[in-house]
Amino acid sequence: MPRDATPSIRIADELRRRIETGELRPGDRVPSTRAITAEWGVAMATATKALTVLREAGLVRAVRGVGTVVADHPDAPRPRARAIAVPPTHAPRTDAELTRERVVAAAIAIADERGLAAVSMRQIAAEVGVAPMSLYRHVPGKEDLLTAMADSVFAGAPLPAGESIGWRARLETSCRMQWAMYRRHPWLAQVMSMTRPLPTVRGMRHVEWAMGEFEGLPTGVMIHIAVTMLNYVRGTAVNLAGESEAERATGVSSEEWMQAQDETLDLILAGGEFPMYSAALTDPDLELSLESLFTFGLDRLLDGIAGLIPEGG
């Protein structure tokens, strides 16, 4: 390494060494910009440049909700934008082969890959290989289709069976199951509504199970707990759909976007007007993500609900 190499190059070379020697393995998280500033004593902009060098070399990649990790194949650069899978070609199907389940599954696959806005009768018909009008015998309209899509997602997450685990564990299990559904299907948050709820039998069954170990509470309190928890998980998950859309449109992950803001943040914080932000953004151990926000908020909600439970409940 040349003696006059810039700090960002020196840091990139050291991280490259850790990757090539196996100290950092494929899938391992590499130091974040905050951790780099703490370890090397450099500015955020320098840390960002170091990670950019590694990313452009194909050594690391950004993973939504995780951060920057070592690429699976460090010698093979990865494209910035995620490619959209080309639907496989298949022989035309007859209307007799078409089922409601196949229509719903195709709609879910399109929404998972391209977002809810891409779901249309024409696109679904192209996916299953039939004429668009054939679909209406199985799904009368868009609202019925969305309800069926949501119901199918809930069906894919069977409820636990077994003995009592207590109201708190049961309610937390329910919320985490919903969160996992939203993570797998970011569009689902756009479909669910607190003011105009979809009549999904499996979704209702899920909530009924979650409330199964509350005793001694008035009905009004119980339904408010149920809807509050649904609204909390869904409200947090709305951000997943927005992030998926932004990444599809720009090819830039949330981690990469945040790194690009570091220099501006440094300038804002330099005046000393925001001590809390400064302390947080220079803490190498701080992990602030949708996952951490979800967990923190869920724990606090459960703590609050505990105050409503009769003593000994």
Q: What is the pLDDT along the chain (313 residues), one digit of tens a residue?
A: 454 578 888 899 999 999 988 889 888 888 877 778 778 877 767 877 888 888 888 898 876 555 688 987 544 443 443 333 444 444 445 566 789 999 999 999 999 988 899 999 999 999 999 988 999 999 998 899 999 999 999 999 888 887 788 999 999 999 999 999 999 999 999 999 888 888 889 999 999 999 999 988 999 999 999 999 999 999 999 988 888 878 777 777 777 777 778 778 888 888 889 898 888 877 877 778 888 899 999 999 999 999 998 875 5
- The counts of H helices and E strands in the chain are 14, 2
Alpha helix stretches (DSSP H) within the chain: 7-20, 33-40, 44-56, 100-114, 121-128, 142-155, 167-184, 188-191, 201-210, 219-250, 254-260, 262-269, 275-281, 290-306
Q: DSSP code of 19? A: H
Q: What's residue 312's pLDDT?
A: 58
Token output for 106: 């195709």
Phi and psi, residue 181, nearest 5° = -65, -45
- What whole-number distance in Å separates Cα of residue 79 and Cα of residue 75? 13
Closest alpha carbon to 111 in 191, 54, 18: 191
| Domains in the chain: ranges and CATH | 7-70 (1.10.10.10), 95-140 (1.10.10.60), 167-251+283-306 (1.10.357.10)
Instruction: Map tokens 């995620």 to a residue.
Output: 82
Closest alpha carbon to 139 in 98, 110, 111, 109: 98
pLDDT digits (tens, 9 = 90+) for 238-252: 988 888 878 777 777
- What whole-number distance in Å separates Cα of residue 105 and Cα of residue 126? 13
